[in-house]
Each structure stands twice: as C-alpha cells, then as structure tokens.
Amino acid sequence: MNARVSRISVLRLLLAVALVLAYALPTAAQLYETRAGQALLLDGETGTVLFAKDADKPVPPASLAKLMTMEVVFHALKSGRLSLDDEFLVSENAWRTGGAVSGGSTMFAELNSSIRLEDLIKGVIVQSANDGCIVIAEGMAGSEENFARLMTERARKIGLKNSVFRNSTGLPHPEQKVTMRDMALLARHIQTEYPEYYTYYSLREFTWNGILQRNRNPLLAMDIGADGLKTGFTEESGYAIVGSVKRDGRRLIVAMSGLPDQRARAEEARKMLDWGVRAFETYKIFEKGEEIGNVRLYGGEQFTVPVTVKEDLEILLPITGRDRMKARVVYIGPVMAPVEEGAPIAKLEVTVGDDLTQETPLYAAQSVGKGPIHRQAFDALTELLLGWL
C-alpha cells in the first residue's frame, strides 16, 4: 500500500497542473556571458534567479564556507544561546592550525588568550580569520568536527540542498563542497534573518593585536552600493566570491567561482551586478488573494480547491526579449481532505527554459471539509486505477 501511495504521489507531481502563462524570456546564456565557471545572480527582494551557469555544480568552498560558520553563530545569537560579550579561549589547535604560524588568513589571536565573540566575528568577516573560526567552533561545539556537523545540519534546515561542510574555515577537505546556488541563497538568508549582524560585512577594516587588516572583498571599494559578503580561493576551483549590492531600490546577490585571478573575480562580479541592476524590471504577475489555479482533493466535499498567494507576487523580467518564461502549480497529491483555508498545499514554479527561476508557496483559498462516503469511495477507486496504470 505504501509503495502504491508513493507511486501515485510521484505521478501527481509529474502531472502537476500547468498554468496558462507564457511570457517572453530568453535563456540566461542568451542574455549574458561570464568567464566564471559557476555563477548565479539572485534578486534579493523577490528571490528571482536572473542568471545561472552551472550553479548546482559542487565545488570546494574555500573561505566561502565561513558564511555558513557565521550563520550558525548568528542563529545562536538570535536564539539567545550566545551573546556578543561571551568570551572564547584560543586553544593551541586554533593557534597552530589557523593562527600566524599556519601561514593562512588570521586575526593574529594570541595563544591561551580569551576573545569576545563580537571581535571574533569581525576577525572572521573582515580578515577571513581561520584562527577565529576554529576558536568559535571549539567554543560552541567542543571540536571543529562537531561544529562542522552543525553547519551541515543548519544548511539543510535553511534550504541549502547540496552543500556539505567538514570544517569551519573552508580549508581543503575532499568531502567539503558547496554550490553557487546554495551560496547565494545563504547570503540572502543572512541578510533577511540577521539584519543586525549583516552590517559586519560592510566593515572596511579591523584591527586586532595591534595589526590592522582590510576587508578582502573588492566590491566594497567600488562605488556600486556593495555591502558584503565573502571571497575565497582554492587551487582546485580558482577564485570565488559572494557579493551583494543595494542600489536604486534593488538588492542583488552574486555568487561565482572558477575565475583565474583576483582581478577577474572583481571585474566579473561587478559587471554581473551592474547588468542585473540595469537589464531587469519588476513586474507584478499575481495580486494578493488572487486565485491562481486548482489542486485536486481526495475525499473532499468538492473535487478541487483553489490556491492563492498571501502577498503580491512580483518577478524580475528583462527589459528586452521575453519569450521563454512559464509558470505552473506543483503539488504532491491529491491532497487529503479536510483542508483549512490558508493551509500551504502547493507551490508556484516559474521557469526560464530549463532553469527554475522562482518558487513561491501557494495556499488554499477556502476551507473544504470531508465529503460523503460515496465521494471518498469514488476518489479511492480513481487513485487505485491511476496506481495500476
């Protein structure tokens, strides 16, 4: 029985109701070209994917992993488990693995010293401090290995599907991988969930132990409205960046990897962000409360229930060219009755060519109770025949 239900669910998903929507939108490859091996440009307000190139290819994160390290920290601060005044001890492991003697990015933390969490955060964000990451990891989870498990667990909870973390620093590990899609989504999550802590990413410099270091994000020095986030480099995947700008009332996030040098990284990131600001306009495609489609019910007073959005639904479309955008209602069903008004029972997928551009929850527009026995029997027979077919 369970196997049959599973088959029916998959069938319903594949046979999801298609909306009669067709706007013109060329593929990302036709709109724009970049030297980056992997890239994704995301509109921070609507969540629209404006450009994608191998965005789901797993690559070594390098220091981009520190974005996830900070998410774990910010989550603990927001929940009250930590405060900015908490102090963490610099162990010999943190000092040797991530400190000045390691030859990597460091905030020059002194062995056996205690450092306030806020200073560690600044060291990690501004100086990309490996020692700061390890001090935080050991202080929060007892070991960096335990902390890395927390990173991956949090990644799944916030919707990062393809990223795996094995340390807090991003130092090379064969099993540690991220995707540019996940990195862009992570940046947006940090901006929206932790605005009071996101401001650290715009700091231009930070001094610790008498040593001043400047933020390595090249976008901050450009007059383009940049206010974050992180750079990275590995021999295997080249130069990478996750950057964000707020300009002309728009928030854009870029994530890219596979660039040959620092100059190309800065130029490609800026060029893509500039293009995103200039080449797209916002369009309202559905209004709050507007019925978008219908979802099939099982055993209900009626065969279907209409679905709607809770807020006005907007999407960014290119100023020129629209010919390949489609939207469809997707759900796993039929949905079991009864259904309460406002229950999330489906989602709206907006695609450009083969790329998923935007995904929005859909809610029942009305309540529907259980139907009479003969209606339930009819639905059961229908599902049985579908499963057999």
Over residues 237-289, the pLDDT tens digits come to: 899 999 999 998 899 999 999 999 999 999 999 999 999 999 888 878 889 99
Output the pTM of the full model: 0.80
- SS3 breakdown of the chain: % helix, strand, coil, rounded to 5? 35, 30, 30
Q: How many residues in total does the chain contain?
A: 389
**Domains 2-27+284-388 and 36-259 fall in the same CATH topology:** no
The CA-atom distances, in angstroms, between 73 and each of 33, 120, 268 are 36, 11, 30
What is the distance between the alpha carbons of residues 161 and 316, in angstroms, rounded to a whole number?
A: 24
The three-state (H, E, C) secondary structure of 317-386, written as one string: EECCCCCCEEEEEECCCCEECCECCCCEEEEEEEEECCEEEEEEEEEECCCECECCHHHHHHHHHHHHHH
The set of residues, in sequence order, having a beta carbon less than 8 Å from that of 303 and lying 6+ positions away, is 296, 297
Say yes or no to pLDDT of 27 above 50: no
17 band by pLDDT with thresholds 50, 70 and 90:
very low
Whether residue 154 has pLDDT greater than 60: yes
What are the φ/ψ torsions at residue 368 (nearest 5 degrees)?
Answer: -135, 125
Over residues 366-385, the pLDDT tens digits come to 999 887 765 555 655 555 55
On whether 230 is known to bind a ligand per the annotation, the reply is yes
Q: Are 383 and 367 in contact (CB under 8 A)?
A: no
More confident site: 371 or 14 = 371
The model's pLDDT over 286-303, given as tens digits with 9 standing for 90+, comes to 899 999 999 989 888 898
pLDDT classification of 8: cutoffs 50, 70, 90: very low
Cα–Cα dist 87/70, whole Å = 16
DSSP structure class, residue 110: P
Average pLDDT value for residue range 305-318: 87
Q: What's the confidence (pLDDT) of residue 384?
A: 53
Give 24's pLDDT tier (boundaries 50, 70, 90). very low
Q: Where are the beta strands (DSSP E) in the chain?
A: 18-23, 38-43, 49-53, 87-89, 114-116, 205-208, 211-214, 226-234, 238-247, 250-259, 280-286, 291-298, 304-308, 313-318, 325-330, 335-336, 344-352, 355-364
Mean confidence (pLDDT) of the chain? 87
Question: How many helices (H) and strands (E) are present in the chain, helices listed first?
Answer: 11, 18
How far is C-alpha 370 from the geometric centre of its chain's CA atoms? 38
**75-84 residues labelled b (16+ CB within 10 A) or e (exposed):** bbbeeeebee
102 is catalytic: no
pLDDT number for residue 323: 60
Instruction: Give the model's confidence band at 115: pLDDT under 50 very low, under 70 low, under 90 confident, else very high.
Output: very high
Query: What is the reported pLDDT for 343?
Result: 94
What's the rounded mean pLDDT across residues 335-357? 84
Indicate left, alpha or beta for 315 from its phi (over 0: left) and psi (-120 to 50: alpha): beta
Structure tokens at 316: 């960014």
Written out in words, the top-level CATH class of the domain with range 36-259 is: alpha beta
Distance CA(25)–CA(31), nearest Å, equals 9
- Which residues lie below 8 Å from residue 6, measured CB to CB, with a gap of 6+? none
Q: Which of 332, 330, 323, 335 is nearest to 293 (CA)?
A: 330
Residue 105 has pLDDT above 60, yes or no: yes
Q: Which of 53, 105, 122, 128 is catalytic?
A: 128
Compute CA 336 distance to the chain's CA centroid, rounded to the nearest angstrom. Answer: 31
Q: Roughly how many angstroms between the first and final C-alpha of the chain, as a whole number?
A: 15
Chain segment 180-226, per-residue pLDDT in tens:
999 999 999 999 999 999 999 999 999 999 999 999 999 999 999 99
Three-state DSSP class for residue 225: coil
The mean pLDDT value for 325-331 works out to 84
Q: Which of 63, 163, 168, 244 is the catalytic position?
A: 63
pLDDT band at 142 (very low <50, low <70, confident <90, very high): very high
Reply yes or no on whether 128 is catalytic.
Answer: yes
Residue 6's pLDDT band, with cuts at 50, 70 and 90, is very low
Told to judge if 143 belongs to the known catalytic residues of this protein, a careful annotator would answer no
Q: Is 14 a residue whose pLDDT tops 50?
A: no
Cα(190)–Cα(38) distance, integer angstroms: 21
Q: Are 241 and 231 in contact (CB under 8 A)?
A: yes
* 53, 66, 122, 177: the active-site residue: 66
Q: What is residue 147's predicted lDDT score, i.e. its pLDDT?
A: 98
Q: Work out the average pLDDT over 345-371.
A: 84
The CATH architecture that domain 2-27+284-388 belongs to is Sandwich (2.60)
Q: Write down the domain spans for the chain.
A: 2-27+284-388, 36-259
Mean of the pLDDT values across residues 74-92? 98
